[in-house]
């Protein structure tokens, strides 16, 4: 049996922002990945062990009969260092990196897998660690090559040449092959299934949908561009006076976004905080449109959740959506920052219930097909690493 260690940080923001401490657990995409792994690996002869970095100690609560979770507490000194720019992050990551040595010696995995977490420790250090232990190292999604000097680009290519990439979309696979030139190291595994809500969404009876636009995500406006959605919604309300905008999530930009809502004179905008489980599923099942206007996303599992609920989605034209969103068939896309097109798409779906229903049903069928392909591809890719 092949043994895989996957390293993640379920609290990857709590070192910087107290608002997330204890509240951000299991809400980010890394834990969706883990839940996806554990359902299929054992059946395919793969033993999965999760190393969970957690400064609150709560990540140890998330055990499962399908997997073993080892709680690894990061150094408090290292967390403080991570607040001080690139050098601080590098030193802090190096200290936390040492905390992996003993458990890796004990577990002796065949493959060390990173889930793209930003703080504990850096992927480059994990690559070195896996090579020192003569283990194969894999990283979900592709690395972005460093910008800047020739030296940085050279070092980036060196690390990337040591890594096997498990990418989530065909677009990412092609980009990784072009960037790193070794097709044999790139594995396209497809959609990450949103297991937390899948069963409930698939078994729920049809519900009446109200005229509501739904956003789900961290309130970080630099990335998620909720402000763009608010500006589009101002124009939507001029023609659809009874519609709502439901904003699910929390973050350091919440006060700024609430102020913008007031300054724009918007009505029926509700900031609902974090929701999960059945509460979140009900919002997917009773809204009319889901919108994610981000400027960057690594995957965005919330889009898959919305599609499973047969909720039509409107997203910015990012590579991570290319396998899921066929424009005009399984959803709609718009150019990043294009508030006019976003407004038109929202008004179209709010004003044409039959079109909205058709797009939603297409989305559900499409995402279910992608989910069914996922487990087989993932297990085959990992098994090939033995």
CATH 3.40.50.2000 location in the chain: 2-193+374-383, 195-370
pLDDT digits over 296-306, tens only? 887 788 898 89
Q: Counting Cβ atoms within 10 Å, is residue 168 exposed (0-12), middle (13-18) or buried (19+)?
A: buried
Which of the four CATH numbers 3.40.50.2000, 3.50.50.60, 3.40.309.10, 3.40.50.720 does domain 2-193+374-383 have?
3.40.50.2000
What distance in Å separates the CA atoms of residue 332 and residue 308, rounded to the nearest whole number?
A: 16
Residue 162 confidence (pLDDT):
57
pLDDT digits over 36-82, tens only? 666 667 777 778 777 776 665 555 444 455 556 777 777 778 777 77
Partner residues linked to 187 by β-bridges: 166
With 0.75 as the threshold, say if the pTM is over it: no
More confident position, 181 or 363: 363
More confident position, 287 or 161: 287
Angle between helices 301-308 and 353-383 (to 10 degrees): 130
Average pLDDT over every residue of 20-29 = 38
Closest CA to 334 of 232, 260, 258: 232
Please say if the pLDDT value at position 380 is more than 90.
no
Residue 16 confidence (pLDDT):
32
Residue 91 confidence (pLDDT):
77
Which of 123-137, 210-224, 371-385 reaches the highest mean pLDDT?
Answer: 210-224
Average pLDDT over every residue of 357-364 = 95
More confident position, 157 or 91: 91
pLDDT digits over 201-238, tens only? 777 777 889 999 999 998 999 999 999 999 999 999 99
pLDDT digits over 263-298, tens only? 999 999 999 998 877 888 899 999 999 999 999 887
Residue 310 confidence (pLDDT):
93
Residue 122: partners with Cβ closer than 8 Å, 6 or more residues away:
89, 90, 93, 97
Average pLDDT over every residue of 147-162 = 54
CA dihedral of 16, 17, 21, 26, whole degrees rounded to 10: -80
Look up the CATH architecture of domain 195-370: 3-Layer(aba) Sandwich (3.40)
pLDDT digits over 316-337, tens only? 999 888 889 999 999 999 999 9
Q: Are 37 and 378 in contact (CB under 8 A)?
A: yes
Contacts 24+ apart (CB under 8 A), 271-276: 271/247, 272/246, 272/247, 272/248, 273/248, 273/249, 274/23, 274/27, 274/248, 274/249, 274/250, 275/216, 275/248, 276/26, 276/27, 276/196
Confidence of residue 354 (pLDDT cuts 50, 70, 90): very high
Query: Which H or E run includes 315?
Result: strand 313-316
Q: Are 269 and 230 in contact (CB under 8 A)?
A: yes
């Amino acid at each position: 049996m092949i043994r895989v260690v996957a390293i993640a940080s379920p609290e990857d923001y709590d070192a910087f922002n107290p608002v997330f401490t204890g509240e951000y657990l299991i809400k980010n995409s890394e834990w969706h990945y883990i839940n996806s792994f554990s359902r299929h690996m054992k059946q395919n002869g793969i033993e999965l062990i999760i190393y969970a970095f957690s400064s609150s100690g709560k990540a140890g609560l998330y055990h499962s009969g399908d997997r073993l979770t080892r709680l690894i507490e990061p150094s408090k000194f290292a967390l403080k260092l991570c607040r001080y720019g690139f050098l601080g992050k590098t030193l802090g990551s190096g200290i936390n990196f040492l905390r992996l040595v003993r458990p890796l010696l004990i577990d002796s995995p065949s493959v060390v897998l990173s889930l793209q977490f930003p703080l504990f420790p850096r992927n480059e250090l994990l690559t070195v660690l896996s090579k020192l232990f003569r283990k194969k190292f894999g990283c979900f999604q592709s690395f972005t090559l460093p910008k800047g000097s020739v030296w940085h680009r050279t070092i980036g290519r060196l690390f990337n040449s040591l890594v096997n990439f498990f990418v989530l979309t065909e677009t990412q696979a092609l980009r990784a092959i072009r960037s790193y030139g070794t097709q044999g190291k790139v594995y396209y595994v497809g959609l990450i299934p949103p297991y937390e809500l899948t069963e409930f969404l698939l078994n729920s009876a049809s519900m009446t949908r109200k005229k509501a636009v739904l956003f789900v995500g961290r309130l970080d406006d630099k990335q998620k561009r909720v402000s763009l959605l608010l500006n589009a919604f101002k124009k939507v309300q001029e023609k659809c006076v009874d519609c709502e905008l439901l904003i699910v999530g929390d973050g350091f930009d919440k006060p700024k976004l609430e102020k913008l809502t007031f300054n724009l004179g918007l009505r029926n905008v509700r900031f609902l905080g974090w929701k999960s489980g059945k509460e979140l599923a009900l919002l997917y099942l009773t809204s009319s449109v889901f919108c994610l206007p981000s400027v960057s996303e690594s995957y965005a599992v919330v889009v898959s959740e919305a599609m499973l609920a047969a909720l039509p989605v409107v997203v910015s034209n990012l590579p991570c959506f290319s396998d899921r969103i066929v424009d005009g068939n399984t959803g709609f896309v718009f150019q990043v920052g294009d508030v006019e097109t976003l407004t038109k798409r929202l008004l179209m779906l709010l004003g044409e219930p039959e079109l909205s229903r058709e797009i939603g049903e297409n989305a559900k069928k499409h995402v279910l097909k992608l989910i069914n392909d996922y487990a087989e591809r993932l297990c085959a890719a990992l098994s090939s690493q033995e």
